[in-house]
Structure 1
């Protein structure tokens, strides 16, 4: 790892490529659609030579339209390969639950009921017979296309001086040797690390009232599922900016 590292102020994207990094969606299809409209308008106005839209994971759980979000992302990525979706821990959690219905796992304890409901399944996590019945119905309701999409999600992407992942990286470990588990789960060791990294890390995973711009990282998770605010970081050469879309907050949170 470089001793000096790269500071946010000095970090640059690839020449001629405008980068858009979208934070955690969590079933808020309304906000995702609105963000893509904003980005399309921005691309049309600025006409960059090239661009990428990078979704930073957590498309499912908590919000009302996990199925719709996955439909949207699959269609968008099929239509244009410059639209990239990375894996988040909640997306991994859906696959984990489909494989084994653990009533104490991430899916069951962090918004999986809403995900199941978006597929038309009312899921109960107890007693065990109800859990098993709901699990069977959910496995039948989730299209194989959705499961295959979730399984295929990469855990990181790199463009220029920016490293994109869902949660963050392990300090002291080179980007090439990061543990896939850390990329979707790490929190305090990464967030509290003061030194610079090889690249500026653009991430979500840890909701914040406002986007966090630090010397070594950018956090664009603004808790869309409860706040109604979905945030996108834009990098174009050495220029960096933020854009958001706003909808109704969820009063349950």
Structure 2
């Protein structure tokens, strides 16, 4: 059994499928943790959600977190400010993939999926989250905005214990990612390779949480 974490797929279905089926070769006994941002910007947000739901239906052990883009889309249903922001940050591409003229036309199946996404996952050796934790708060896990949206945060070692934090949300070069993975003193590992930003970053990454092996797939949409 192996445990993998992937973040920030952003509608890149071909790249994601290749990672799952040809690179890590996901098995039923493995665990796959997806850290959010499945939708927006890339060409096939709907396809990514369909594929994740199929993996779950086929009894693969897939655990899904909420990213800021899912959070933004859910809020965009009833908030014009969020709707404008969502459309500017990939919502147009998402609606096109759903073949929906407006956000109200997106089928309930996808809303049900997004509403069931977890804000974070706590393992014995890792805290998995989309963006970060507010360790200054009495309960860091209760600050949903930081969980989904934070770009910077300070770690309180007394609350973290012997665990490491694995997150996405902010694209970084592979060299920085590998440096953090190899550093035994690093408390935080960012695994967002900026897959959808193919001209600047352009990699989807999967971190083996047991061996710390980093798997990479270049944008292939």
How many Å separate the matches in 2 of 1:81 and 1:174?
A: 35
How many Å separate the matches in 1 of 2:26 and 2:119?
A: 27
Count of residues in Structure 1 that have an aligned counterpart in Structure 2: 208
Q: Unaligned 5+ residue runs, structure 2?
A: none
Poorly superposed stretches of 4+, deviation over 6 Å? none
Task: Map 1:14-163; keep pairs closer than 5 Å.
Answer: 17-38=1-22, 41=25, 43=27, 50-80=29-59, 82-102=61-81, 105-121=84-100, 134-135=101-102, 138-140=103-105, 142-163=106-127
Whether contact under 8 Å (2:40, 2:94) holds in the other structure is yes
Larger radius of gyration: 1
Deviation per residue, 1:168-224 (Å, 9 max, x gap):
111344766441221111122x1xx36643321110000112253261111110111
Instruction: Specify whether residues 248 and 78 from structure 1 end up closer, same or farther in structure 2 by C-alpha distance, changes over 3 A only.
Output: closer
Q: What root-mean-square deviation, in Å, do the aligned CA atoms of Structure 1 and Structure 2 show? A: 2.4
Whether contact under 8 Å (1:156, 1:164) holds in the other structure is yes
TM superposition score normalised by structure 2: 0.84
TM superposition score normalised by structure 1: 0.74
Deviation per residue, 1:18-69 (Å, 9 max, x gap):
210002000100111011113553659xxxxx43100000011110100111
Q: Unaligned 5+ residue runs, structure 1?
A: 1-16, 45-49, 122-133
Alignment-derived partner of residue 10 in structure 1: none
Larger RCO (CA within 8 A; separation ≥ 6): 1
